[in-house]
A and B are shown apart, each in its own frame.
Chain A
Amino acid sequence: MDSVKPEEKLTRFIFDSNEYRSSDKGLKHSAFMPNNKGKTSVFRISGISDEEIWDIGEREVVPKKGKAMKGRADIPAYEVLKHNLSVDPEEPPPRHANIVSWNLNRQDQRLIAVKLAADANFIEKQ
């Protein structure tokens, strides 16, 4: 599996108001917080169409979450890597990767997650 390059684009699928503000379509830090295994699940989306990206979400993430997708948060890999985080490919499913190397301190995690949310672009599902 190819390693993730800084110029690659990543996306995180967004499911509810816990992760974004419907008022101003702003992302919340929780959109990027790692799970309890220290991983933030993302997909590598460089070189594929918008339709293909949404298809990945519908096929790979919606069944697991059991709810409808509200949107996605696109972010360039270099915005992640600059915080001393890594992006490790982990397939299957195809194009899946995890943001890892999070500091164990929750406050540090939140501060970085706020910055990632600020650097990401929220795209609402039509």
Chain B
Amino acid sequence: MIALSNSNTGNGSMNCRGLSITGFGGEYEEYRRYSEDENRAFEKAETFSHKQALLQQLDSLCKECSEEGWDGDDAFAISEDVYDESRKFIRHLPDISFIPMPDIIAEYSGEITFEWSKGKRHVLLVTMCGKNEISYVALFGTNEVQGTVFFGDTFPPVIIENLRRLFLL
């Protein structure tokens, strides 16, 4: 037997997209498993659509910045290599709940930077230069971190560590 409510009722209850479900027995177990699978699929689809939106944002930014002087001054164009690496970075973004989608910034140097921020002095910047290498700088209050890391076929663990530090600590 199962019941839906919007209150938390303790044991034998679960949460499905903000709705509390209570119950017992095999029917409940079956529903719980089904709902958990459905939740996971939903979250995956949600992440997928966020990544699609980010890819579209990248496309329009790169179009806007495809010629030298796009800033009305002397900015370098975003190169094909930087664009490809940025797409790869978005595709490899881990599906971890605490990691929000970043902002995308075109740099005058022709690079692309992904920015995560949690207030003015808690910021992580990850920059694509199109050479299978990404550089990062982070400000965590008064502490600062910077480095460069190889970017091959997996998302660099050091970026996840910094994201964890930014959003979880």
Q: A26-B120, A106-B127, A107-B135 are in contact. Are A18 and B105 (CB under 8 A)?
A: yes
CB distance from A120 to the nearest CB of B (A): 9
How many A residues, CB 8 Å from partner?
A: 24
Contact of A29 (CB < 8 Å), options: B109, B123, B146: B123
- Nearest residue (CB) in A for B117 is A26
Indicate if the CB atoms of A30 and B74 lie closer than 8 Å.
no
Interface string of B104-135 (1 = CB under 8 A from A): 01111101010101001101010100000001
What CA separation (Å) do A34 and B71 show in the bound complex?
A: 12
Indicate if the CB atoms of B109 and A30 lie closer than 8 Å.
no
Indicate if the CB atoms of B72 and A66 lie closer than 8 Å.
yes
Indicate if the CB atoms of A36 and B72 lie closer than 8 Å.
no
What CA separation (Å) do A10 and B60 show in the bound complex?
A: 32
Indicate if the CB atoms of A118 and B125 lie closer than 8 Å.
no
Q: A18-B105, A28-B103, A30-B113 are in contact. Are A114 and B146 (CB under 8 A)?
A: no
How many B residues, CB 8 Å from partner?
A: 28
Is A68 an interface position by the 8 A CB rule?
Answer: no
Indicate if the CB atoms of A107 and B146 lie closer than 8 Å.
yes
Interface string of B14-36 (1 = CB under 8 A from A): 00000000000000000000000
Indicate if the CB atoms of A65 and B72 lie closer than 8 Å.
yes
Please give, as numbers and ranges, the residues of chain A lying within 8 Å of B106 by CB-CB distance: 18, 30
What CA separation (Å) do A36 and B76 show in the bound complex?
A: 8
Most B-side CB within 10 Å, residue of A26, A34, A66: A26
Please give, as numbers and ranges, the residues of chain B lying within 8 Å of A96 by CB-CB distance: none
What CA separation (Å) do A30 and B105 show in the bound complex?
A: 7
Indicate if the CB atoms of A110 and B125 lie closer than 8 Å.
yes
Report B's interface with A, CB cutoff 8 A: 61, 71-76, 103, 105-109, 111, 113, 115, 117, 120-121, 123, 125, 127, 135, 137, 139, 144, 146, 148
Report A's interface with B, CB cutoff 8 A: 18, 21, 26, 28-30, 33-37, 41, 64-66, 106-108, 110-111, 114-115, 117-118
Instruction: Enumerate 15 A-B pairs (CB-CB under 8 Å) in ascending A order.
Output: A21-B103, A26-B117, A29-B105, A33-B108, A35-B75, A35-B108, A36-B108, A66-B72, A107-B135, A107-B146, A110-B137, A111-B137, A111-B139, A114-B125, A115-B139
